[in-house]
Amino acid sequence: MQRGEIKNREAFLDKVAGQLGRNRRKDNVIRPKWKHQVQWKVLADLTENELVDVLEKQCEVIHTDFIRTTEKELDAKILQVLQAYGVKTALTSDDSRFSSFGLTNKYQDWKNSSDIDVFKWDIESPGQSRHLAEQADAGITFSDITLAESGTVVLFSSDGKGRSVSLLPSTYIAIIPKSSLVPRMSQAAREIHHQIESGGRISSCINFISGPSNSADIEMNLVVGVHGPIKAAYILVEDR
């Protein structure tokens, strides 16, 4: 993935300052310290296990199946979910965690036992991979950050971790390492901010996904699957 380039930033900021009736402030700019910062207090006193309970309860609200498992039983739980949804083809992102959690070695077993084909996103053939995503019954990714309060998985895009895997198939399965769990959006935003401040390479696209695609018209009639997957499952795994 190529590093992006910011263009016309100075001219834009100069114009904003001009509309405010002043010159640009470039030196000695200090971030304000707000007296009230309640965003850090919500769910802050909960333990990791209590955050898991919050996430599980929120999954009921967002029409998402929630499964708990251990690393040892992860492959069996994924297979159970695939079978329950009637999945015959699945596409995963190109993520080293599939290997480190011992999943890639199980794909052939799934094929032999349940006739389920699992494909991995091919960095060298993104067009073909997008076509696979369109045809696949399920897309499977790992969550990079997980927000307990809203039941949201956060995905940082890269060459092998594109949006198509979680968007185009009719079913989406998120594998959630327990260590990725945080209370809410505040902590995710702080993590992204820290990456930027440290000079790290931040993803050009960061997706916040809260269950299947939900839409509602002015009469508040819920329609599922208009803009994305119809079904979603979160599999929370006790990781190392």
The answer to whether position 142 is within a domain reads yes
The answer to whether position 22 is within a domain reads no
Q: Which pLDDT score, from 0 to 100, does residue 31 have? A: 84
pLDDT at 53 over 70: yes
The answer to whether position 185 is within a domain reads yes
State both tokens at 71: 């690393």
pLDDT at 68 over 90: yes
Domain count, the chain: 1
The answer to whether position 6 is within a domain reads no
Q: Which pLDDT score, from 0 to 100, does residue 130 have? A: 95
- Top pLDDT among 56 and 2 is at 56
Buried b (16+ CB within 10 A) or exposed e, 176-188: bbbebbbbbbbbb
Distance, CA of 75 to CA of 122 (rounded, Å): 22
The answer to whether position 4 is within a domain reads no
| 180-201 per-position pLDDT tens digit | 999 999 999 999 999 988 887 8
Distance, CA of 225 to CA of 232 (rounded, Å): 10
Query: Rounded to 5 degrees, what are φ and ψ at 196?
Result: -70, -45
Computed over every residue of the chain, the mean pLDDT equals 93
Residue whose pair of structure tokens reads 């969550």 in the numeric block: 143
The answer to whether position 106 is within a domain reads yes
Whether residue 44 contacts residue 183, with contact meaning beta carbons closer than 8 Å, is answered with: yes
- pTM (two decimals): 0.87
pLDDT at 216 over 80: no
Mean pLDDT within 71-96:
97
Mean pLDDT within 162-172:
95
The answer to whether position 23 is within a domain reads no
Mean pLDDT within 141-165:
96
The answer to whether position 144 is within a domain reads yes
Angle at which helices 74-84 and 107-114 pack, to 10 degrees?
A: 40
Q: Which pLDDT score, from 0 to 100, does residue 2 have? A: 55
CATH of the domain at 207: 3.40.50.10420
The C-alpha torsion from 84 through 86 and 88 to 94, rounded to 10°, is -50
| 13-29 per-position pLDDT tens digit | 999 999 999 989 888 88
Mean pLDDT within 123-148:
96
Owning domain of residue 181: 43-238
State both tokens at 37: 């910062």
Q: Which pLDDT score, from 0 to 100, does residue 139 have? A: 98
State both tokens at 229: 């997957």
The C-alpha torsion from 183 through 186 and 190 to 192, rounded to 10°, is 90
- SS3 for 83? helix
Mean pLDDT within 80-98:
97
State both tokens at 11: 């001219």
Closest-CA residue to 153 (of 142, 161, 138, 167): 142
- SS3 for 167? helix
